[in-house]
Amino acid sequence: MRRLTFLLRPSWVILAVVVAGFAYLCFSVLAPWQLGKNTRTSERNDRIANSVKADPVDVTTMLSGTGKNTEWRRVTATGTYVPDSTVLVRLRHLDGQPAYTVLAAFRLDDGQTLLV
């Protein structure tokens, strides 16, 4: 018993409190955060998988909606591309390599304009 009395020194007690506090924070803050990431990722993957199976809908019905119901949905649009509206977007990444994205304005039959 006499050999363990050094654990009662203030430096060892403070170290034990810091380690216990860190362990508490790991289990109460970091673990739920990490498990929550998996839940969000699973929900997003399910939405993407369901969108592949779902029939496309008209784009005008999706423009008024917001949130999860409109994300990753396939749509159809009728109209024409706006001449000379092509824009090159720099500083994009594709498969870990530098890339560009090309955007063009698409005018729907009802007059609304989308970036495609």
Q: What pTM was estimated for this model as a whole?
A: 0.56
Q: Which two tokens stand for residue 54?
A: 């779902």
Q: Which two tokens stand for residue 9?
A: 């020194």
Q: How confident is the model at residue 27 (pLDDT cuts 50, 70, 90)?
A: confident
Look at residue 107 and tell me whether its pLDDT is greater than 90.
yes
Query: By residue range, what is the domain housing residue 22?
Result: 7-55
Decide if 19 is inside a domain: yes
Overall average pLDDT of the 96-100 stretch: 91
Decide if 113 is inside a domain: no
Select from 98, 100, 103, 82 the least CA-distant residue to 90.
100
Relative to beta strand 75-76, strand 57-58 is parallel
Query: How many domains is the chain built from?
Result: 1
Decide if 89 is inside a domain: no
Overall average pLDDT of the 17-38 stretch: 85
Decide if 31 is inside a domain: yes
